Amino acid sequence: MNTKSGKGYALAMAIIFVIILTAAGLGLYYSVEHLTGEIRIQETGYARGYYAAIAGLRYASILLRNPDDLTFVANVYTVNGTELLPVGSPPAIGFFHDIGVDPADLAITIRRIVRWGKPTGKYKVSAAYTY
């Protein structure tokens, strides 16, 4: 039996085995890294939507301190984010700009609750963030 060729064969098989394990480990690592990156981006969107909606609800609650100043159309008022600005201020410094949200993505509405054709003095506020 030739022992010299057997030792070389074992070394070559060990190197190939290590290369295969390394490639499999790197592939697994990068697939997990990619998946966690996608989850992180998705969770960031959820968090941004949550905080934008909460900010919108707080903004609407400030507006409801003086509901007589709001112009309701069919008992619905759509918040545009510039209600609290001094007259003549540019809209770019309004509420939506301050929280870093595109106004088209955040819909805030204040609905006046009406019973038997008369306002009850109560309001329903909703905020929805689309991303």
Q: Please, is 52 exposed, middle or buried when counting C-beta atoms within 10 Å of its C-beta (0-12, 13-18, 19+)?
A: buried
For residue 28, the surrounding DSSP H or E stretch is: helix 3-63
Instruction: Specify whether the CB–CB gap between 110 and 63 falls below 8 A.
Output: yes
Residue type, 58: R
Q: What is the pLDDT of residue 126?
A: 92
Q: What is the pLDDT of residue 17?
A: 93
pLDDT tens digits, one per residue of 2-33: 555 556 778 888 899 999 999 999 999 988 88
Question: What is the span of the domain harbouring residue 73?
Answer: 3-129
**What pTM value is reported for the model?**
0.63
- Residue 76 structure tokens: 């619905």
Average pLDDT, integer, range 58-77 = 90
Structural domain tally of the chain? 1
Q: What is the pLDDT of residue 125?
A: 93
- Mean predicted lDDT score pLDDT of the chain: 85
**Which long-range contacts link 120-128 to residues 24+ away (Cβ below 8 Å)?**
123/64, 123/67, 125/57, 125/60, 125/61, 125/64, 127/52, 127/53, 127/54, 127/56, 127/57, 127/60, 128/53
- Residue 4 structure tokens: 């010299």
The order of strands in the sheet holding 118-129 is: 76-78, 106-115, 118-129
Q: What is the pLDDT of residue 92?
A: 75
Report d(CA 54, CA 93) in Å as an integer: 19
